[in-house]
């Protein structure tokens, strides 16, 4: 047993979802010590052992899918529709990791391109840095954990998960499933310690890799705290969707309405800024507002609910305040704007001042801002006018504009013909500017957790 109880409540109705234990300092030390002790054994695990463990997790998540979806929905208020989707993605994430494990092998390079290196051959492999500290957020309490745990196991690195205090239960269930695999003791641990105790884990020299997903200020504080560690950061954004005059307006309105408000806007690639070319502003705005007003808001346990509560009343109050500040500065509310407990009605704003928080910062709530522009040039400049650069969506039928967007937009991913919220779990994912450093997506994360090592063979007949 731990030293304190950890009570998890449902953001929608306040009911107790589960009670866990906060690990004692001795238990934390035991977990870190075990990860450090097993690091060489973990790195030497045969490929098939790692891959079979990952396949097992994928299979068990699939078998327990409804149970785990209900748990996700209860602990963070995510509508069950989206929670089921998250479990399905986690199933795929572990499956992709198993596949990449089997492909992730060394390569060779002949060095006799110069006379001085005749008879020499380089074998290039990738070796894990060592145990990974995975600090994970509340908004995807299973799949964003999977994106750290799966690649760590794939490369033979022990991993310690420090879940968000609001949503530890999904991580603990994942730990139960990992315990079924037969991976060596110390290969994985879940430590639901409070945030004010996480600093000691971050600083521990036995954990050479820190993989963090969450807010920018916390992420950069970690990087400043341990500048000599290998730190990967998946941070925030204020994702833009560009709607050009040649776009399918019905499709764009439907997708933007839904993906500004999915997860109650609590996604770093939820649509926040909607940049619309002037010839279609009026027609598109009416379609968008109608689509937003048609979204089903309510109890996350209801299959029909598309928009549920934020993770807490405090989070909703902050979003409400940001909307009020924008309105005080001259913004117009075209839809929504109200709050009921932890739930914010899906909100559309127009005429927002350029310096308002709902444009400059990450809202992390169900709020989108309409910004008219005169041309493609202005649209792309507006996307780039942000300290963030995670993903952007561009609704256009023009292949030329698509390639131009890929070249000019200062983001880690450009989604053509859809919202910036699209993510395939096997693709590279991450941002530029203040949206972070490093990449997720299984192979990309596996490379992030490892370094290249070269062995040169001499005196060979090539």
| Alpha-carbon distances, residue 24 vs 3, 34, 94, 161 (angstroms) | 5, 15, 30, 15
Question: In what helix (H) or strand (E) does residue 453 lie, and over which residues does it extend?
Answer: strand 450-457
99 and 133 fall within a common domain: yes
Residues 34 and 169 in one domain: yes
Percentage with pLDDT > 70 across the chain: 100
The question of whether 268 is a catalytic residue gets the answer yes
Q: How far apart are CA 431 and CA 146, in angstroms?
A: 19
SS3 320: helix
The alpha carbon of residue 362 and the mean position of all alpha carbons in its chain are separated, in whole angstroms, by 14
Q: Are residues 188 and 260 in the same domain?
A: no
For the cut 90, the answer to whether the pLDDT of residue 185 exceeds it is yes
Structural domain includes residue 49: yes
Q: Does 202 reside within a domain?
A: yes
162: tokens are 């420090």
Interval 333-351 mean pLDDT: 97
The reply to whether 245 falls in a domain is yes
Residue 110 main-chain phi, psi, to 5 deg: -70, 135
Task: Report the pLDDT value the prediction gives residue 2, as an integer from 0 to 100.
Answer: 66
* Residue 387: inside a domain: yes
Rounded distance between C-alpha atoms, residue 33 and residue 37, angstroms: 6
* Residue 462 is assigned to a structural domain of this protein: no
Closest CA to 252 of 286, 288, 293: 288
Confidence tier at 5 by pLDDT (50, 70, 90): confident
d(CA 132, CA 81) in angstroms, rounded, equals: 32
Mind listing the pLDDT tens digit for each residue in 34-48? 999 999 999 999 999
pLDDT in tens, 206-251: 999 999 999 999 999 999 999 999 999 999 999 999 999 999 999 9
d(CA 27, CA 257) in angstroms, rounded, equals 46
Are residues 194 and 85 both part of a single domain? yes
Residue 146 is predicted with a pLDDT of 98
- Angle at the Cα of 175 from the Cα atoms of 8 and 160, rounded to 5 degrees: 95
1 confidence band (pLDDT: 50, 70, 90): low
- Co-location of 24 and 147 in the same domain: yes
Say yes or no: 58 and 97 in one domain: yes
Q: Do 442 and 384 reside in the same domain of the chain?
A: no
Quick check: 9 pLDDT over 70? Answer: yes
Residue in the block written with tokens 């997903």: 213
* Percent of the chain scoring above 90 in pLDDT: 98
User: Residue 382 sits in a domain of what CATH number?
Assistant: 3.40.309.10
Same domain as 339, residue 192: no
Report the pLDDT averaged over residues 269-292.
98
Q: Give the largest Cα separation in the chain, rounded.
A: 78
User: How far apart are the C-alpha atoms of 444 and 431, rounded to whole Å?
Assistant: 13
Residue 430 covered by a domain? no
Q: Taking the alpha carbons of 188, 191, 195, 196 in that order, is the dihedral positive or negative?
A: negative
Please check whether residues 210 and 289 belong to one and the same domain.
Answer: no
Distance of alpha carbon 68 from alpha carbon 63, whole angstroms: 10
pLDDT category at 457 given cuts 50, 70, 90 is very high
- 200 and 186 together in one domain: yes
Asked if residue 249 and residue 204 are part of one domain, the reply reads no
Domain contains 321: yes
What does the pLDDT read at residue 4?
Answer: 85
Nearest 5°: the CA angle 20, 234, 237 is 110
User: Distance of alpha carbon 393 from its chain centroid, rounded?
Assistant: 17
CA 40 to chain centre: 29
Q: What is the CATH number of the domain that holds 229?
A: 3.40.605.10
Beta pairing class for 450-457 and 121-128? antiparallel
How far apart CA 209 and CA 190 sit, in angstroms, is: 16
User: Is 338 in the same domain as 210?
Assistant: no
Quote the domain boundaries for residue 218: 4-235+436-457
Closest CA to 283 of 370, 352, 379, 349: 370
| pLDDT tens string 105-134 | 989 999 999 999 999 999 999 999 999 999
Number of structural domains, the chain? 2
Calculate the average pLDDT of the chain.
97
Band (pLDDT 50/70/90 cuts) for residue 192 is: very high
- The catalytic residue among 75, 268, 320, 362 is 268
The residue annotated as part of the active site, out of 86, 100, 234, 277, is 234
**Confidence grade of residue 414 (pLDDT, cut at 50, 70, 90):** very high
Say if residue 158's pLDDT is above 80: yes
Interval 193-198 mean pLDDT:
93
Does some domain include residue 123? yes
Q: Strands, DSSP E only, in 26-76?
A: none
Per-residue pLDDT of 344-396, as tens digits, reads 999 999 999 999 999 999 999 999 999 999 999 999 999 999 999 999 999 99
């Amino acid at each position: 047993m731990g030293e304190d109880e950890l009570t998890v409540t449902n953001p929608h109705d306040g009911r107790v979802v589960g009670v866990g234990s906060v690990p004692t300092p001795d238990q934390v030390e035991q977990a870190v010590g075990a990860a450090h002790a097993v690091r060489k054994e973990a790195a030497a695990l045969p490929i098939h052992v790692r891959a079979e463990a990952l396949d097992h997790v994928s299979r068990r998540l699939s078998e327990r899918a409804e149970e785990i979806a209900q748990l996700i929905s209860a602990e963070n208020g995510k509508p069950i529709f989206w929670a089921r989707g998250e479990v399905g993605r986690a199933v795929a994430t572990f499956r992709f990791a198993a596949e990449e494990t089997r492909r992730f092998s060394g390569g060779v390079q002949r060095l006799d391109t110069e006379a001085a290196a005749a008879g020499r051959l380089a074998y290039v492999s990738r070796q894990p840095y060592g145990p990974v500290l995975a600090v994970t957020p509340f908004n995807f309490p299973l799949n964003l954990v999977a994106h750290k745990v799966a690649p760590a196991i794939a490369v033979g690195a022990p991993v310690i998960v420090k879940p968000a205090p609001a949503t530890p239960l999904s991580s603990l269930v994942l730990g139960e499933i990992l315990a079924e695999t037969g991976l060596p003791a110390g290969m994985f641990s879940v430590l639901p310690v409070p945030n004010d105790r996480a600093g000691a884990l971050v600083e521990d020299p036995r954990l050479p890799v820190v993989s963090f997903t969450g807010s920018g200020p916390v992420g950069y504080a970690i990087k400043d705290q341990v500048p000599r560690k290998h730190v990967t950061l998946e941070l925030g954004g204020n994702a833009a969707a560009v709607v050009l005059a040649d776009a399918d307006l019905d499709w764009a309105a439907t997708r933007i309405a839904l993906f500004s408000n999915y997860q109650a806007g609590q996604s770093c690639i939820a649509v926040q800024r909607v940049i619309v070319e002037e010839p279609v502003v009026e027609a598109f705005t009416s379609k968008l507002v109608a689509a937003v007003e048609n979204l089903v808001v309510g109890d996350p346990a209801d299959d029909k609910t598309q928009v549920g509560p934020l993770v807490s009343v405090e989070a909703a109050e902050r979003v409400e305040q940001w909307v009020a500040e924008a309105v005080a500065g001259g913004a117009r509310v075209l839809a929504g704007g109200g709050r009921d407990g932890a739930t914010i009605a899906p909100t559309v704003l127009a005429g927002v001042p350029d310096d308002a928080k709902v444009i400059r910062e990450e809202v992390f709530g169900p709020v989108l801002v309409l910004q008219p522009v005169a041309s493609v040039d202005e649209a792309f400049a507006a996307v780039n006018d942000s300290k963030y650069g995670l993903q952007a969506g561009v609704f256009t039928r023009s292949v030329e504009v698509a390639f131009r967007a890929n070249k000019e937009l200062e983001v880690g991913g450009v989604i053509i013909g859809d919202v910036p919220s699209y993510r395939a779990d096997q693709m590279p994912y991450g941002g530029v500017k203040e949206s972070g450093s490093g990449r997720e997506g299984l192979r990309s994360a596996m490379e992030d957790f490892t370094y290249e090592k070269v062995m040169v063979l001499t005196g060979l007949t090539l």
